Each structure stands twice: as C-alpha cells, then as structure tokens.
A and B are shown apart, each in its own frame.
Chain A
C-alpha cells in the first residue's frame, strides 16, 4: 500500500500516535494523516497488518493480524449476522494512562481503526469501551463519533460505553460478558471471542492503541510500520511512566528504546531501586542493572520481565519493594472474580503471606509458603490475574532478596512505613 497523496508518512523518529497537546478534530486529523483509505479487499488489509508485525498493545502482545484473520474467517463461515468490533480502552490497570490519553488526543485514529477492522471482518457494529475513571476520554470519543456521523452519515454505527469498575472488567471475555448484559467477569474459553462473543457473534476485541496503529498501517503500509522499533518488536508504543520520577506521564517511544533512556527523559532520580514493568500485573526489574533492557516485549522477556500494557513504575531508593508488592497483591486478591477455587483461595493466602513478609518478621516457612502459593495459583484460573500476581511476587522475592533477608532478621525496614509509591485504589464496597 502506498501513502495517500497529500499526507506525510511519519519519519522513523517522528511521533505517530499523539502528535500535539490538543486533540485533533476530524478535519485536522484528515489533513495530518491523510483521508481514511477507501476500503479495499479485506484480505489485503489483513495481509498488510500481518506484514507489519503489529502485536496487541493491551498487554498480551498477540499478533493483531492473526486475531483479525480469525474473526474474519469465523464471520465468513457464518453468513447470517455480522461480526462485531470492540475497541478496548478500558484501562483497568490502575497505573496506566496511555489508553485514556490516546482517546483524548487522537480519537479519530482509533475510530479509523475500528472502521477498517469492521470492513475486514464484516462487522456491522462497533463499540468503544472507555475507562470509567476518564470522563475526558469518553467525551472526546463521543464527540468524535458525532463528528464522523455528521460528515458521513450511514457509516458504521459505533457505541461509546464506560467499562464497569473493576480490575478484571477490561479483560477480553469479561468485557464481552458485560456487553452481553452479564457480570463483568471472565468466562471460560472455549468458546473464543473470535468465534462467539457479543450477542454470540464473532467478536474482534483490540486495544485502542492497536487500532490506532491499524489506521496508520492502512495508510502508510506494513513496511513503513517496521521503520521504527526492532525487527522482533516493530513499531512504536505508548508507555506510562509513573512512580518516583520528576516528569511522570504518557510517552510514545520506538520499541526497543533502552529503559534508561525512557526513564531519564521522565526525570529518573539517581539511586532509584527498581522499576515495575507491565503494571500491577507485571514484574520487577532491579535498577540500575535494568537500565540497558530494551523496552519491548521481547527485550523484557529476555530480562525475565514483561512489558504488558506499558506501565513503568519506578521505586525510589528509600522505598520498600516488598511493601509495595504486598499492597498490590492485596489489591489483586480483592479484585479476584472469585469464580475459580485456586484463585479465590490462593490469592488471599498469597496476599496474607506477602503482608507478613513486608510488615512483619517473616520466617523461612512463610517465605516458602509464598513461593509455593505462586506455583499453586499460576495458570489455574480462567483468566490471568493469578498468573500476573504469581509473576509479580516471584520477581519481588528475587529482586528484593536483600530486603527479604533484612526483614527476616530485623523486621520491616523504614521504607515499608512510607506512603505507597504505587497507589492502590481503595477497596470497592461490595
């Protein structure tokens, strides 16, 4: 695919997704990126997305082209009703801001992506699910949908909804359950959403950032997409830098940028102890050793971590990683759907063990029990919440091994008494 005449394909070093502080109107968006390409053959778009190597930006990093192809095939096999496209901007990860920022600044990129994917899979309806904590994003998307309706009536009907509160509400099957009028809790797979999702129709659920990238690939091509990033992790990504940094916020970076460069641009203080990558679902990396780690899924995995939804939370020098982990584990245990025995039983036990480790004088048994619990909960639920918690705790016990020994001998360190660096939302009333 070639660039549309009059539009400028962003150069490798340019910002692609969020290009200025104020949101782009429909007209400005068309001027900046060029008009939305006319729908060609669905197979061509899917092939281009596969060629680009775009992976999901919601945390799972699943190849986007493969997902779209699966829904297209399922929808093609069932000629009766159309498929459904869901733009997932739920951002249920408390420390993440990127989806809301993207929706507030570039709603038309996301909506272009929804329209293009709808054409590729034969969808007759689209949904945009926004974070309930982000009225600004909801407003921006609603206005953008209205703008598009005025400019081109009779286009794809798109409904803008707020995802229900809760850590799991943005999970793919939980979101579909909510859209079906059920509880916002994960369901067992099979059936896969690509086969049977909203209203029992093949459903394509993609993160809003992934859809924005689809809109760019449709204009400028898969080859262009790969001009930034690395061969194993092509393109750019939005990351949320938070914690003990001078300039926290959302940044767009080429994938593969060294972690140190990203953090320094956000005002990293010297002497910072560790960084939590991937959100509350993620894993700890020690500083300064991890400054060299490339910020990408493959780079993080090689370092024993994961990029996930792109949250990079910095723990300051005087902080206690065990205390932060204990609070987060408690939060995750509270947010458990409670549907699966191992998670319903194991997560509170894990949170309790972490609490004793962080705020007490843990003996070897409780440390061993915590390790054992991570093995007992991981992979045994219908969703990945226990897996994330297990990874978080394991990485904490490794990265903060020195603190662990100190707690065991002398009780909690002064850092454990400090206010939380990584805020945990207050427990929702039942």
Chain B
C-alpha cells in the first residue's frame, strides 16, 4: 500500500476479533505481537486504537491467515 501525501485523512483501520469464531489457534499473535497478545487461555487480546500504517500489511496477512477467519480488519468511521 502506498502512502498518499497530503490527500486528506485516510480511513484508519481497526482490528477486531469475532470471539465466537475464534478458536485460539494463535497465528495472529505470532504475526502481530505488537498489537495482539495472548490471555491466560490463549485467546487474543487486541490493543485498542487504529492499526499503525507500518503494521497494516502484517495485519492483513494475519487476517488472511486466521484458520477460522475470526480476525477482522474494519474501517473506523
């Protein structure tokens, strides 16, 4: 993804997990330890706030790699 300079604010992205679909496979926290850590039972705890631009491609990979498609990347309004 290329950074657009001076074109106004980009949509910022937010990571969310579908807790029903999540089965604690743990790939997301391996790929994105800056934003996702494990709780005592192996389930993801996601840092609140927007995804920093430098981590966006890793976040997209984590979303694609989730075995149960539980990790979601949504646009912040």
Interface residues of A (CB under 8 A from B): 186-188, 339-343, 345-346, 376, 380-382
Contact A342–B20 (Cβ < 8 Å): no
Q: Which of A187, A345, A376 contacts B20 (CB under 8 A)?
A: A187
Contact B41–A380 (Cβ < 8 Å): no
Is B33 part of the contact surface with A, judged by Cβ < 8 Å? no
Is B21 part of the contact surface with A, judged by Cβ < 8 Å? yes
Q: Which of B19, B23, B42, B45 contacts A381 (CB under 8 A)?
A: B19
| Chain B interface residue bracket vs A | 10 to 19
| Known A188-B20, A346-B41; further 5 A-B contacts with Cβ < 8 A | A187-B20, A339-B20, A342-B43, A345-B43, A381-B19
Is B8 part of the contact surface with A, judged by Cβ < 8 Å? no
Q: Which 8 A-B residue pairings sit nearest by Cβ, starting from the closest?
A: A340-B19, A341-B43, A345-B41, A339-B20, A188-B18, A382-B20, A188-B20, A382-B19
Q: Which of B19, B24, B43 contacts A188 (CB under 8 A)?
A: B19
Contact A340–B22 (Cβ < 8 Å): yes
- Find chain B residues with CB under 8 A from A376 CB: 39-40, 45
Interface residues of B (CB under 8 A from A): 18-24, 39-43, 45
Q: How far is the CB of A31 from chain B (nearest CB, A)?
A: 48
- Find chain A residues with CB under 8 A from B22 CB: 340-341
Distance of A345 Cα from B23 Cα, bound (Å): 12
Distance of A341 Cα from B19 Cα, bound (Å): 7
- Find chain B residues with CB under 8 A from A342 CB: 19, 39, 41, 43
Distance of A230 Cα from B19 Cα, bound (Å): 38
Q: How far is the CB of A337 from chain B (nearest CB, A)?
A: 8
Nearest-neighbor residue (CB-CB) of B23 within chain A:
A341
> Given A188-B18, A188-B19, A188-B21, are A341 and B42 also a contact pair (CB < 8 Å)?
yes
- Find chain B residues with CB under 8 A from A341 CB: 19, 22-24, 41-43
Q: How far is the CB of A418 from chain B (nearest CB, A)?
A: 34
Nearest-neighbor residue (CB-CB) of B39 within chain A:
A376
Nearest-neighbor residue (CB-CB) of A349 within chain B:
B40
- Find chain B residues with CB under 8 A from A380 CB: 19, 39, 43, 45
Distance of A187 Cα from B39 Cα, bound (Å): 22
- Find chain A residues with CB under 8 A from B23 CB: 341
- Find chain B residues with CB under 8 A from A343 CB: 19
- Find chain B residues with CB under 8 A from A381 CB: 19
Q: How far is the CB of B8 from chain A (nearest CB, A)?
A: 27
Q: How far is the CB of B76 from chain A (nearest CB, A)?
A: 15
Distance of A343 Cα from B45 Cα, bound (Å): 13
- Find chain A residues with CB under 8 A from B41 CB: 341-342, 345-346
Nearest-neighbor residue (CB-CB) of A340 within chain B:
B19
Most chain B beta-carbon neighbours within 10 Å: one of A343, A376, A380: A380
Most chain A beta-carbon neighbours within 10 Å: one of B20, B24, B42: B20
Distance of A188 Cα from B21 Cα, bound (Å): 9
Distance of A187 Cα from B20 Cα, bound (Å): 8
Nearest-neighbor residue (CB-CB) of A342 within chain B:
B43
- Find chain A residues with CB under 8 A from B45 CB: 376, 380
- Find chain B residues with CB under 8 A from A339 CB: 19-20
Distance of A54 Cα from B42 Cα, bound (Å): 42
- Find chain B residues with CB under 8 A from A345 CB: 40-41, 43
Distance of A342 Cα from B20 Cα, bound (Å): 10
Distance of A187 Cα from B18 Cα, bound (Å): 10
Q: How far is the CB of A217 from chain B (nearest CB, A)?
A: 30
Distance of A382 Cα from B16 Cα, bound (Å): 11
Q: List 30 A-B contacts (CB under 8 A).
A: A186-B20, A188-B18, A188-B19, A188-B21, A339-B20, A340-B19, A340-B20, A340-B22, A341-B19, A341-B22, A341-B23, A341-B41, A341-B42, A341-B43, A342-B19, A342-B39, A342-B41, A342-B43, A345-B40, A345-B41, A346-B41, A376-B39, A376-B40, A376-B45, A380-B19, A380-B39, A381-B19, A382-B18, A382-B19, A382-B20
Distance of A201 Cα from B39 Cα, bound (Å): 37
